[in-house]
Amino acid sequence: MSKIEGERDFLSVNIAVLTVSDSRTLEDDKSGMTLVQRIEAAGHTVAARDIVKDEVDLIVAKLGVWIADESVDVVIATGGTGVTGRDITPEAFAQVYEKEIPGFGELFRWVSYQKIATSTIQSRATAGVAGGTYLFALPGS
């Protein structure tokens, strides 16, 4: 069995993938499919996958369903984290967080800076916890 940091056994987790988009479908959602492929390649399970439009109420509702589902350990969302008018994923996630994990967004932007330089300031990647479920919101591109 794989080890993490040479100390702990690998623990597979069940991850739900949420794409936030007004235009994508499951068939043409490249970002969501990339997440699914990487999750499975890393030895984890994709517990669910869905797409919702860029609307706070729809995002909050879907998060609520997955937070209540004991078979979902983690939710990873893609899309809606930029700075345009329709990018509201961080605001929706903030409504459900019991605890925010501010270091995630900071680390994400630092890693992104290595590749895209100052364009990383447009990212509002965020993470938090609600109901024992870890929630991550990533850019769609």
Indicate which CATH number applies to the domain containing 56.
3.40.980.10
Q: What are phi and psi of 92, to 5 degrees?
A: -65, -45
Q: Which domain holds residue 15?
A: 3-138
Percent of the chain with pLDDT over 90: 66
Q: How confident is the model at residue 134 (pLDDT cuts 50, 70, 90)?
A: very high
Residue 119 confidence (pLDDT): 77
Residue 5 confidence (pLDDT): 63
Say if residue 2's pLDDT is above 60. no
Q: How many CB atoms lie within 10 A of CB 131?
A: 15
Average pLDDT, the chain: 92
Long-range contacts of 99-108 (CB under 8 A, 24+ apart): 99/128, 99/129, 100/126, 100/127, 100/128, 101/127, 101/128, 101/129, 104/136, 108/138
Q: What is the mean pLDDT of residues 106-135?
A: 89
Alpha-carbon span 46 to 60, nearest angstrom: 20
The pLDDT tens digits for 35-94 are 999 999 999 999 999 999 999 999 999 999 999 999 999 999 999 888 888 899 999 999
Q: How confident is the model at residue 3 (pLDDT cuts 50, 70, 90)?
A: low
Q: What is the mean pLDDT of residues 13-23?
A: 96
Q: How confident is the model at residue 116 (pLDDT cuts 50, 70, 90)?
A: confident
Percent of the chain with pLDDT over 70: 96
When divided into structural domains, the chain yields a total of 1
